[in-house]
Structure 1
Amino acid sequence: MGEKCKPDSQELYKLWSTDDFFDCDTRNELKKIAGDAAEIEERFYKYLEFGTAGLRGIMGAGTNRMNIYTVSLASEAFARYIDSLSAEQKQRGLVISYDSRHNSLDFAKKSALVFAKHGIPVRLVDELRPTPMLSFAVRYYNCIGGVMITASHNPAKYNGYKAYGEDGGQMPPEAADVIMREMAGIEDVRTLQWLDETTAVAQGLLTYVGRDLDTAFQNMLLQVQIDKDVVKRHKDLKIVYTPLCGCGNKPVNRILKAIGFENVITVPEEEKPDGDFASIPYPNPEEACAWVRAIKLANKVDADLVIATDPDSDRTGLLVKKTDGTYQILSGNQIGLLLMEYILSAKVATKSLAPDSFVVTTIVSTALAEKIAASYGVKCFLTLTGFKYIGEKIKQYHETGLAHFVFGFEESFGFLAETEVRDKDAVVACMLISEMAAKAADSHKTVNDLLQDLFRKYGYGTEKVFSLVREGIQGQKQIAGAMAALRADETKLKFPDLQIVAVEDYLSGTVKNCLTGEVKALDMPVKSDVLRFKFANNTDFVAIRPSGTEPKLKVYCAAYAESESDSRAKAELMAEVMHKTLDGIM
């Protein structure tokens, strides 16, 4: 929160563990850590911070934990922001959804009742729904904003609170700053109030939505489908799908069935919502541990395609069958390139590619995206990391009629191919990946064949992404220290046979020419804590940034060459240097 209300950990601990305002479970949980100064400090040294990604943290009792009180605090601040708008905007209300995590329904309902206390109408989903459906619902119901209770792909001990603006995109920085200031002004959580559910429903301030939203969302997706005939020819394509115990099961299976696929097999152990994620340590399609059961089932049924969605169904993972019959996990960059090539080529074939079309990706995603876009005469915009920035490009160019949005993606397994959702959408990605596989089957090819064709056409790229996890107070200091050290002296990074020629600092908004020392302004309107180091060939790069939602430093190494082996070797060298250097600094 603000500096004036920086909490004293021991005083807050005493308040939360003894005051009757807090429920019995909260007080009992805290009494169990009595005398553990380090644990008390960890739980109470700060309030969970509200950023452009909302809140995210470990569930438990304390100001630095996700619980009904921190969620209510965020909702109170959000409500005060809405109170500052016009009466018409306020009456448009909010829509709230939630995922399969422990406490998600409780957090969603408590949030709704805080808004109701302010006279702000809330539509609450009648069962869990994915993040892209929440984004769609904000626009569909013409709401002033929305809330999604989710920690996305984090481990089971986490939960989160994502705030959305009226365009269906995540809250822009200016509005998030207002909400953050409102949170900082609430010095005593015991002042928080909410309506009871019966009163909120009776006054029309809380309504439940479901079936109409499902129908509208599916009808929208059907308009995004490109080749309606190809699925008819390959309706028996064998697709193994896992929602990883999240909320993708119903919408993904519905849309695949609606477009004609008849052989979709859902991993049974991971089909139903489960806050423990069937003991998967990281329910994230980026992680190999998330694919164990899917691969086992794929081998059993000899699947043509294997797809996964994360718990809130905004990220999509993909396995492809190699020539030796084994299954390979594709990177987010590879999936994004495949979808971009398929969508653009299919639209050219159907003469539906508008001459002013554009695609969007991020500064840490693959450089091959720009090559693909250029080959189709399509503009490729680069944004900061965070899908809200891709949504802002849609608002800036598509909504104003200046250009036509076709596709956007980021390397962290996020994809979008429609304009009525302003966040990454795993449901539409599953639909288009399956359609792409059916189209490949027309030529007796697999998706892996498509990937190899793409590399032969545009050159080989290897992008290695890894994270250095540093939890707690000390971890925050280590991550900040590493960023500061490399800002001060980029020569700490020494790459054999590779020369850093430029450093792009997206926090200062500058780019430094390392050969001449000249510093210029970056063409990026928004600032972010990202450093990107470019090499002499102007395509290879390494980048680092602190995660906005997890206690980790993310590292990106991208290398491009005429052969797969050369690009891989170069990327592995980059990763080795980055790992060794950052470990040494931290």
Structure 2
Amino acid sequence: MDLSVKTAVEAWLNEGSIAESDKNEVRELLASGNEKELTDRFYRELEFGTGGMRGLIGAGLNRMNIYTVGAAAQGLANYVAAQGEQAKKAGVVIAQDSRRMSDAFALRTACVMAGNGITAYLFESLRPTPELSYAVRHLGCAAGVVITASHNPKEYNGFKAYWSDGVQVVPPHDENIIREVRSVGGFGKVRVMEPEQARAKGLLKTAGSEVDEAFLHEVQASCLQPDLCRKHGRNLKIVFTGLHGTGGVLVPEALRRRGFEQVIEVPEQAVPDGEFPTVHSPNPEEGAALNLGIDLARREGADLVIATDPDGDRVGLAVRGPDGDFELLTGNRIAALLTYYICEQRKRNGTLPADAALVTTVVSGGMMKDIARSYGTEVIEVLTGFKWIGQKVGQFEEARRSGRPSRTYIFGAEESYGYMPATFVRDKDAVTSSAYIAEMTAVFAEEGKGLHKVLTDLFQRYGYYQEGAKNITLPGKEGAEKIEALMNTFRTEPPQTLGGIAVVAAADFETGRNHDLHTNKLIEQYDLPASNVMMFTLADGTRVIARPSGTEPKIKFYILTRAPGDDLEKAQAEATGRIAAIVADIENLAR
């Protein structure tokens, strides 16, 4: 065993603040001689990154447990306290999803805040992430935390930090909090107050129905066509599943308030359960997660299936196709439909601002961007991560307050099934997005169209857009080193062709430089924060993006392509073949 790992294991076993049960978990690994597992648990501390941390649950420095969560909470508490007494009094609001240990991690976070003299608002039970983002601003808090690993497998959990604007922490707060977390100085330095004492001192308060009601009021107030929702909501049937997570707390009620009377929940998945017993992965990006919902929709004669992930920020969708059966829509296509719906309805209502802006990411599909531009809406591309979309809203508002040129946010989306159709939330929001999906279904029904027909019409108008993805998982220390080496190769020796198509440009988002591969001339200098992302542009306009995940041991490849939409069958075959050829090359490069 590596000496540094051995030293870390011994320190864990000798730490007085760690319970014997958590030490015994490590002792059992020692007794079994499982050096590989011990190395993975102790070769580093679980990294607190720019939005928080996420990892496997278990004993060890590189695991999610009450000690690593406590240290993260202590670092955040130190930073909040550094803002002054008013920030300590304003406090931190904390929410949790249905995962293993989420309740314990949320309570530990609250008790650490109280131990540092900071008011903690702890939701009485699980709540979706968008409500946490909303609650930060609604309660006037200095910061917020949600305990979740989003759509990751059941073995994971996480800690996401938000600042007073309701956005996941961005510069300078993210780096400052990371610095505080790193300087905590050991688990024994974490200040924890017992819950009973914290409540008696007024430092631990409960958040609950009052925040729920205020949030749901905002969701309903954002409706663009309430009359048509009520008209068609009597007959439209919607199957909903929260995939054992937080979505069931608010989504069904939000839909009912929108006017949809026939909301049918998948009973097997309506009960929160961190084991996610009915799905291999609680991820609405994966079609299998919607199988039970689709089966129920067939039996009930429903019009669409809506699914949200465990923390209620992502939403997946299945709609009736031409043959009457259900078809899954990708995140980019849902985003395109929502972009079209919002732009078109605002244009009809006379509420589409002259300075309207769609905010999306560089890795998201082109269809929503082209739709927005056709309505005179500016498209602003940011880095991957919804915090950069949420941040733009605040920047627009600040510019307007100071009398500088600004934009009016009308919609934000990313390819990974995240959408933000209103600004009272500053993160991806599956609750409000579900209400908008149902709403646009009702409005298009007034025109005699289903969502699939609307999408087909958009293809014929704007072109056939298709996206591909390839995720390569490389766990452990060796995997992390291989991912780093691969990204270095992309920078120093970019591929000349992908899928048999010439690569004409390479953009490195660490430097912000997009250059021509043949002339090496600068094409564009991006004004974005440095990020470990490479983007290759092919001769036919296809984009291929490589991005190591910040939360999982994998490197992600995004492929964005387009074919003429006049013959959709031919276009689909052309795009599918192009993507398959590019994926084959990626697999060879990653070997």
Letter aligned with residue 399 of structure 2: T
Deviations 1:270-309 (A, max 9, x none): 0011001124121011112211211111111121011100
- How do 1:156-305 and structure 2 match up within 5 A? 156-235=154-233, 236-305=235-304
Corresponding residue for residue 3 of structure 1: none
Corresponding residue for residue 484 of structure 2: 480
Corresponding residue for residue 12 of structure 2: 16
Corresponding residue for residue 539 of structure 2: 536
Letter aligned with residue 58 of structure 1: L
Does the C-alpha gap of structure 1 residues 7 and 462 become closer, same or farther in structure 2, counting only changes over 3 Å? farther
Deviations 1:288-343 (A, max 9, x none): 22112111111111210111000000001000111112211111000000001001
Corresponding residue for residue 155 of structure 1: 153
Q: CA deviation at 1:11?
A: 2.0
Corresponding residue for residue 403 of structure 2: none
Aligned to 1:27, which of 23, 28, 32? 23
Deviations 1:374-402 (A, max 9, x none): 21111111111000110111111144332
Aligned to 1:519, which of 505, 522, 532? 522
Structure 1, 503-512 or 395-404: larger mean CA deviation: 395-404
Q: CA deviation at 1:494?
A: 3.6
- 1:104 paired to 2:102: yes
- How do 1:90-489 and structure 2 match up within 5 A? 90-235=88-233, 236-401=235-400, 402-489=406-493
Q: CA deviation at 1:223?
A: 1.4
Structure 1, 381-390 or 232-241: larger mean CA deviation: 232-241
Cα pair 1:532 1:544 within 8 Å, conserved: yes
Paired with 1:51 and 1:571, the residues of 2 have a C-alpha distance of 36
Paired with 1:228 and 1:488, the residues of 2 have a C-alpha distance of 55
Q: CA deviation at 1:443?
A: 2.0
Paired with 2:105 and 2:3, the residues of 1 have a C-alpha distance of 24
- Scaled by the length of structure 1, the TM-score of the pair is 0.96
Structure 1, 173-182 or 541-550: larger mean CA deviation: 173-182
Q: CA deviation at 1:499?
A: 1.9
Paired with 1:67 and 1:490, the residues of 2 have a C-alpha distance of 40
- 1:500 paired to 2:503: yes
Cα pair 2:126 2:246 within 8 Å, conserved: yes
Q: CA deviation at 1:578?
A: 3.6
Cα pair 2:40 2:477 within 8 Å, conserved: yes
Corresponding residue for residue 581 of structure 1: 586
Structure 1, 516-525 or 164-173: larger mean CA deviation: 516-525
Letter aligned with residue 9 of structure 1: V
Query: Aligned with 2:495: secondary structure?
Result: helix
Paired with 2:284 and 2:222, the residues of 1 have a C-alpha distance of 24
Cα pair 2:382 2:528 within 8 Å, conserved: no
Letter aligned with residue 506 of structure 2: V
Deviations 1:223-256 (A, max 9, x none): 1110001112212201011000000102101111
Q: CA deviation at 1:18?
A: 5.0
Structure 1: where are the runs of 5+ without partners? 1-5
Corresponding residue for residue 547 of structure 2: 545
Q: CA deviation at 1:429?
A: 0.6
- Scaled by the length of structure 2, the TM-score of the pair is 0.95
Paired with 1:400 and 1:222, the residues of 2 have a C-alpha distance of 28
Cα pair 1:398 1:405 within 8 Å, conserved: no
Cα pair 1:93 1:121 within 8 Å, conserved: yes
Cα pair 1:114 1:193 within 8 Å, conserved: yes
Q: CA deviation at 1:367?
A: 1.4
Paired with 1:270 and 1:399, the residues of 2 have a C-alpha distance of 42
Does the C-alpha gap of structure 1 residues 449 and 66 become closer, same or farther in structure 2, counting only changes over 3 Å? same
Cα pair 1:465 1:556 within 8 Å, conserved: yes
Q: What's the RMSD between the two structures over aligned residues?
A: 1.6
Does the C-alpha gap of structure 1 residues 276 and 337 become closer, same or farther in structure 2, counting only changes over 3 Å? same
Paired with 1:100 and 1:33, the residues of 2 have a C-alpha distance of 28
Q: CA deviation at 1:567?
A: 5.2
Letter aligned with residue 456 of structure 1: Q
Identical aligned residues as a percent: 39
Paired with 2:216 and 2:590, the residues of 1 have a C-alpha distance of 50
Deviations 1:526-552 (A, max 9, x none): 111111111234x42111100111111
Paired with 2:262 and 2:314, the residues of 1 have a C-alpha distance of 22
Does the C-alpha gap of structure 1 residues 116 and 369 become closer, same or farther in structure 2, counting only changes over 3 Å? same
Letter aligned with residue 142 of structure 1: G
Cα pair 1:153 1:283 within 8 Å, conserved: yes
Paired with 1:488 and 1:107, the residues of 2 have a C-alpha distance of 43
Query: Aligned with 2:205: secondary structure?
Result: strand
- How do 1:62-73 and structure 2 match up within 5 A? 62-73=60-71
Letter aligned with residue 342 of structure 2: I
Corresponding residue for residue 574 of structure 2: 569
Cα pair 1:316 1:429 within 8 Å, conserved: yes
Paired with 2:348 and 2:62, the residues of 1 have a C-alpha distance of 53
Paired with 1:385 and 1:7, the residues of 2 have a C-alpha distance of 37
Paired with 1:340 and 1:519, the residues of 2 have a C-alpha distance of 32
Letter aligned with residue 453 of structure 1: D
Cα pair 1:559 1:568 within 8 Å, conserved: no
Paired with 1:7 and 1:274, the residues of 2 have a C-alpha distance of 40
Corresponding residue for residue 73 of structure 2: 75
Q: CA deviation at 1:492?
A: 5.4
Paired with 1:147 and 1:170, the residues of 2 have a C-alpha distance of 9
Cα pair 1:559 1:567 within 8 Å, conserved: no
Q: CA deviation at 1:583?
A: 4.3
Cα pair 1:493 1:581 within 8 Å, conserved: no
Deviations 1:28-49 (A, max 9, x none): 2112101321111110000111
Structure 2: where are the runs of 5+ without partners? 401-405
Q: CA deviation at 1:581?
A: 3.4
Letter aligned with residue 393 of structure 1: K
Letter aligned with residue 300 of structure 1: R
Q: CA deviation at 1:104?
A: 0.4
Cα pair 2:73 2:112 within 8 Å, conserved: yes
Does the C-alpha gap of structure 1 residues 296 and 567 become closer, same or farther in structure 2, counting only changes over 3 Å? closer
Does the C-alpha gap of structure 1 residues 571 and 364 become closer, same or farther in structure 2, counting only changes over 3 Å? farther
